[in-house]
Amino acid sequence: MISDLWYKNAIIYCLSVGTYMDANGDGVGDFRGLARRLDYLHGLGVTAIWLMPFQTSPHRDDGYDVSDYYSVDPRYGTLGDFVDFTHGAKQRGIRVLIDLVVNHTSDQHPWFKEARRDPDSKYRDWYVWSKKKPGHANTGMVFPGVQKTTWTYDDQARAYYFHRFYEFQPDLNTSHPEVQAEILKIMGFWIQLGVCGFRMDAVPFVIGTKGPKVRKPKEQYDMLRSFREFLQWRQGDCIVLAEANVLPETDMEYFGDDGDRMHMMFNFQVNQHLFYALAAADTRPLVKAMKATKPRPATAQWGQFLRNHDELDLGRLTQEQRQTVFRAFGPEESMQLYERGIRRRLAPMLGGDRRRIELAYSLLFTLPGTPVIRYGDELGMGDELSLKERNCARTPMQWSDEPHGGFTKHDKPVYPVISAGPYGFEHVNAAIQRRHPDSLLNWTERIIRMRKEVPEIGWGDFAVIPMRNSAILVMRYDWRNNSVLFVHNFDAEPHEIAFATGAEGEHGDVLVNLLGTEHSKAGDDGKHHLVIEGYGYRWYRVGGLDYLLRRTDIG
Ligand code: NOJ
């Protein structure tokens, strides 16, 4: 049954409520605004929303510094507004995933305040302390260049506390049974309010051992099983989508050999090599990354993505590959961040070139896994590099050419809307793009519609067809007596190519074009011959369009 494991073939759309739509006119988006935009999301065809943190927070890291896990930040509305929103989503068949940020709290969280004030408080042990400054305090920073240390002295506590991220994000002592129990309670709370899963922040750090003597944290993978068990018992279709930028050899530890740990993980390995392939027109490292991340339990799924709310982290590329990507997509220092990444949005990185944007999206939608798209990318929204660190790619959604892009009626939105220039709301907005059949918005809607009719990608087994030309990627998926095949040309130049589909049976002779009218029939040599234009892509169904009649019920 397809629907039971819904995340195997979902279309996930990630957004932050504060930048989506402001219904109450205070200059910041809120749940009432978001609920009114559900029809837009439904029309676009997304099947799940991933909401960035919206709980009460001092907002020093865009909400990734939570000060009350059981509330909605007043600027976004009330718990009542939240439930209205999840209800509206459910009515439209859209599932809601929320961020679960439990590696650390805000330093304004009452637990931390209590912990630093009173050494005998039960909350003292909920954090990680050291009387002396650990020798390795200036190592392991996640935000190099901005963050100076991982251990900061607290005058009130008269001790150093550990923080993997910024100093206002003290790490929770996640090995502590009471902290673990609290994490489950938080999940249970939000499930009750209508959510279907959690994007778990910083998973390797959540499960890593912590302490002044810990130089090399040891992962406590069993914790992942207990999170999953809890979810499954409470609500069978609830999932965890893990943020874990780890090496392929540890993937199975996160998924669990029996598929008993994380349901989904973001595929950072493929993401970084994908950008290299786009920059260098060389698909070989991407193919390697796809193959390295192929093993996974049948019930697990990759979350594939292009850009998200953070920098494009290129830390897993070689120095030379990274420089190639920097040169192509982020040549200026102001575009780079944390000595490892690019902080721009997708469209400006690709020079606003529609052919390249479509190529990138076509790839995203055909990579093995479930695509995760970022709000505004369906319009080709830009960035505002004058905003600091990652904020440049977190500007409000551009709805129309009305003041502030139709995001708010307030004179001064808290987050500035991109205005003027090629990416200004005056030109780039949903209202204009809705009217033009060829707009990126309508293209995205159509490609999503087609993607939903190709369950082979989410469920099937993939094979990369070997090509001599490394600018070309040909992938085939097989599932239930059906195959689909995708061709992508990463080069600006057209290429003449030939390949055999490798599909079993006689079906391989015919390729039916799913997005256009040029179908392909194999030549006498059994190969398909085609000329693919610069940055071109093709989606084919192998055999005829009687595929649904041919589909088997299992296998
Ligand atoms: C990862 C999140 O994606 C990022 O935005 C945040 O700053 C850190 N985790 C800390 O929560």
| Strand ranges for 138-274 from DSSP E | 151-154, 159-162, 197-200, 239-242, 264-266
Residue 109 CA to ligand 1 center (angstroms) comes to 17
Q: Is 39 a catalytic residue?
A: no
Which of these is catalytic: 65, 201, 282, 378?
A: 201
pLDDT at 80: 98
pTM for the model:
0.98
In this prediction, residue 1 carries a pLDDT of 36
- Are the CB atoms for 84 and 23 separated by under 8 Å? no
pLDDT of residue 2: 40
Q: Indicate which residue of 30, 243, 251, 478 is catalytic.
A: 243
> Residue 354 and residue 379: Cα distance in Å, rounded?
11
Give the pLDDT confidence score for residue 547 in this predicted structure: 85
Predicted confidence at residue 512, as pLDDT, reads 96
Please name which of 337, 315, 396 lies closest in space to residue 145, comparing C-alpha atoms.
337
In order of 103, 108, 368, 393, the CA distances from 201 in angstroms are 7, 19, 22, 19
pLDDT digits (tens, 9 = 90+) for 469-498: 999 999 999 999 999 999 999 999 999 999
For residue 504, what pLDDT is reported? Answer: 79
Counting atoms of ligand 1 from 1, which one is nearest the CA of 143?
7
* CA gap 551, 307 in Å, rounded: 35
Strand order in the sheet with 159-162: 129-130, 159-162, 151-154
- For the question of residue 201 being annotated catalytic, the response is yes
Contact 471, 495 (CB under 8 A): yes
- Taking 70 as the pLDDT cut, the residues of the chain under it are 1-3, 506, 555
Which of 52, 54, 310, 343 has most ligand 1 atoms within 8 Å of CB, for mutation? 310
Residue nearest to atom 8 of ligand 1 (CA): 64
CB 84 within 8 A of CB 30: no
Q: Is the CB of 22 under 6 A from ligand 1?
A: no
pLDDT on residue 555: 67
